[in-house]
Structure 1
Amino acid sequence: MTQSVTLDALDRRLIHALQIDGRASFSGIATVLGAPERTVARRYHRLRSALVARVVGLVDSRRIGMLDWFVRIDCAPDAVEALTAALAQRDDTSWIAPLAGGTRLTCMVRTPAAGPAAGSDGGRPLFDHLLRTPGIRDVEASCVLRPVAGVGGWAGRTSALDASEQAALVGPVPESPDGPEVLAEASGWGEAEARLAGELALDGRADVAQLATVTGWSASTVRRRVAWLRAAGVLHFEVDVSPSHFGFPVEALLWLEVAPAQLGEVTEALSRHAAVAFAAVTTGRASVFAMVQCRDTGALYDYLAGELAALPGIGRVETALVQRRAKRAGPLLLPAVGERARRFPPRSTAHRVGHMS
């Protein structure tokens, strides 16, 4: 549970700056914000220590031969908390949330892509294992085909800097070496890359020396590799912070049934809606899934009856309110004694799902 922290104007400007470039130096950020470097660094470490905000490194699943799934799990009321806790410890889960009502929870799951080349059937063993877990009544998994909104940051946390300040934080756009669709086909995604990604997921601002120790590379190799992965679109950085700290405590999940002919128009519109924190085209009964952030339930109604209702081709909308987020984009961090305990929580392993009850 995060501590009670109120974000002031400088906090919000810092979060916006980090969303633009999560690994920008504090000195560079301080210059843009017009604040002392020591103050900027202290503010970030305060927010991170309080588990309010942190920079996380995220990998594009498609470019390393993986798939993302949005999973809905229906279970007995007395199994929700244990299942939530077990899933939160796994490296392959994110965005875990019990839903209001007490018998359902949702999460994102990453699995190897299906097919002989991947040596996998797309994660079916995990889903089958969930179905065999006592207390779970049903599992519905929809594969994410394409993210269409919220990539690069929810608008609610990217409105504190003006255009000139944002431009000052955006460095030259590096060219992708070969622009591979799948990284593994170009230069390999091995154990060292996976360790690098895992460390950056825990701490997107981990220093080069720390990353060199984890990967076994030299400092110069770490710098080149991180730059290459970012240029190729494999690795990007996000600020992991709850919208409730910006005054948007109500989170709703939407499943939209959209006519294929209007799919492009609907997704393009969703990408411009300020309330939409994330949206993606998926497989399943509903072709579009969206996360929406609102100030209260009245604002949610206004969005559903206004902007969303005005879009063509939506045949059916299912909504659910999130009770709480047990895990967001990055690995679970728990308050503990000592900074090292915060930064390096116990590594999760795939077998832990077997302990669910």
Structure 2
Amino acid sequence: MELGLLQALQLDGRAALSRIARSLGASERTLARRYSRLCTLGLRVVGQLVPARLGMTRWLLRLHCAPGSAGSVARALARRPDTSWISLASGGSELYCALTTSTQHERDKLLLEKLPRTPGLTSVDAHCLLRVFTGITSTWYASGIPFGPARRDEENGAPLPAPEFREPPGPLSLDATDRALLAELAKDGRAALPELAAATGRSPSSVQRRLEHLKAQGALGFSVDFAPRHLGYDLMTHLWLRVAPGEVSAVGRALAAHPEIAFAAATTGPHNLVASGVFRGDHDLHHYLDQRVGSLPGIQSIETAPILREVKRLAFRA
């Protein structure tokens, strides 16, 4: 039932527990107990901006640090509001950092001035994310696992919507109310309408209309944050792939459909595709690389970088 609940929240972060319970064939009271238990283990649902929809550019930084410096560099980056997740890998000297920039000036200030002067940082590789194949930032493995016998919306009998979203053209502008609303949802994506109304100075009905507008415009999504280790998945790793140019989109879509993959994107740099995966252990990772990824057409090479520690996750600025 826990997997079904997590999957339902991944599809609709603000879905009522009563609706999820009907979809899973469970009582609302039982589901509420399971939900409370998962919350004590760290479950949270986070509302997130879709950077590309707002004219922002997403970057993945691969940072190398002097021995003993990675921790302090990671903590400094984690304090920045424009970083969304930071992980420590490769023997403790390599960091991965995802961030967004709004303007060319902001980009140049960070990449050409601030980062090169950071104490303990020996090199910076900045990769522009060209296309994300798994929606916003999904940080756990279960996005490909269906829940319930039929995975249908019991209120109208229609299939529940797929989490994939297609970006509409042109950046969307946000006003002060939108930004206040998004800031609250970044803290708690399931905050009740009266709470959101109090934070934004609007009526609950006005907040509901704003929510629906932002979702309809592709500017707002919801992600589930839950540590996979609680479900027996102890190995997280980054995958850097070199793929034949004509096969990048096909391989990216294939990776996004694998339940092991939490994130996949086309990127600039010597590797044109990057992904993050979650596995039970090294045997599962080997099987995945050998049997699942190895059989995809167009893959020329794969580099793996196991994640030792996550320093920051699921945080976008509003």
TM-score by length of 1: 0.78
2:118 is equivalent to residue 145 of structure 1: no
Looking at structure 1, the residues matched to 110 and 180 of structure 2 have their Cα atoms a distance apart, in angstroms, of 22
Structure 2 unaligned blocks of 5 or more: 162-166
* Deviation for aligned residue 1:282: 0.9
Please say if residues 153 and 160 of structure 2, whose CA atoms lie closer than 8 Å, have aligned partners that are also in contact: no
1:112-152 Cα shifts (integer Å, max 9, x gaps): 1x4xxxxx335221223121011111111111111124669
Structure 1 unaligned blocks of 5 or more: 1-9, 115-119, 174-178, 332-347, 350-357
Looking at structure 1, the residues matched to 120 and 110 of structure 2 have their Cα atoms a distance apart, in angstroms, of 16
1:207 corresponds, among 187, 192, 199, to 192
Identify if the C-alpha distance between structure 1 residues 273 and 20 changes in structure 2 by more than 3 Å, giving closer, same or farther. closer
1:181 corresponds, among 169, 181, 184, to 169
**One-letter amino acid of the counterpart of residue 238, structure 1:** S
Query: 1:98 aligns to what?
Result: 88
**One-letter amino acid of the counterpart of residue 153, structure 2:** A
1:245-280 Cα shifts (integer Å, max 9, x gaps): 232211111111222122233223223333222110
Looking at structure 2, the residues matched to 273 and 21 of structure 1 have their Cα atoms a distance apart, in angstroms, of 20
Looking at structure 1, the residues matched to 171 and 185 of structure 2 have their Cα atoms a distance apart, in angstroms, of 18
Please say if residues 137 and 263 of structure 2, whose CA atoms lie closer than 8 Å, have aligned partners that are also in contact: no
1:30-83 Cα shifts (integer Å, max 9, x gaps): 3333444344334323422432x1111111101111111111111122221122
Identify if the C-alpha distance between structure 1 residues 171 and 272 changes in structure 2 by more than 3 Å, giving closer, same or farther. closer
* Deviation for aligned residue 1:171: 8.2
* Deviation for aligned residue 1:238: 1.4
Looking at structure 1, the residues matched to 91 and 314 of structure 2 have their Cα atoms a distance apart, in angstroms, of 24
1:19 corresponds, among 5, 10, 23, to 10
**One-letter amino acid of the counterpart of residue 162, structure 1:** G
Query: 2:44 aligns to what?
Result: 54
Query: 2:150 aligns to what?
Result: 164
- Secondary structure of the residue aligned to 2:69 is helix
Looking at structure 2, the residues matched to 13 and 23 of structure 1 have their Cα atoms a distance apart, in angstroms, of 15
Alignment length (residue pairs)? 309
* Deviation for aligned residue 1:286: 1.1
* Deviation for aligned residue 1:192: 2.1
2:290 corresponds, among 298, 305, 315, to 305
Looking at structure 2, the residues matched to 149 and 88 of structure 1 have their Cα atoms a distance apart, in angstroms, of 23
- Secondary structure of the residue aligned to 1:239 is strand
**One-letter amino acid of the counterpart of residue 204, structure 2:** A
Please say if residues 48 and 222 of structure 2, whose CA atoms lie closer than 8 Å, have aligned partners that are also in contact: yes
Identify if the C-alpha distance between structure 1 residues 266 and 28 changes in structure 2 by more than 3 Å, giving closer, same or farther. closer
**One-letter amino acid of the counterpart of residue 41, structure 1:** A
Please say if residues 63 and 123 of structure 2, whose CA atoms lie closer than 8 Å, have aligned partners that are also in contact: yes
* Deviation for aligned residue 1:180: 4.6
Looking at structure 2, the residues matched to 282 and 158 of structure 1 have their Cα atoms a distance apart, in angstroms, of 23
Looking at structure 1, the residues matched to 35 and 238 of structure 2 have their Cα atoms a distance apart, in angstroms, of 30
Query: 1:339 aligns to what?
Result: none
2:31 corresponds, among 40, 43, 53, to 40
Looking at structure 1, the residues matched to 50 and 130 of structure 2 have their Cα atoms a distance apart, in angstroms, of 12
* Deviation for aligned residue 1:196: 1.2
* Deviation for aligned residue 1:88: 2.3
2:22 corresponds, among 10, 16, 31, to 31
1:256 corresponds, among 241, 266, 273, to 241
The runs of at least 4 consecutive aligned structure 1 residues that moved more than 6 Å come to 169-173
2:105 is equivalent to residue 121 of structure 1: yes
Once the two structures are aligned, what percentage of the paired residues are identical? 39
**One-letter amino acid of the counterpart of residue 249, structure 2:** G
TM-score by length of 2: 0.87
Identify if the C-alpha distance between structure 1 residues 183 and 216 changes in structure 2 by more than 3 Å, giving closer, same or farther. farther
2:185 is equivalent to residue 194 of structure 1: no
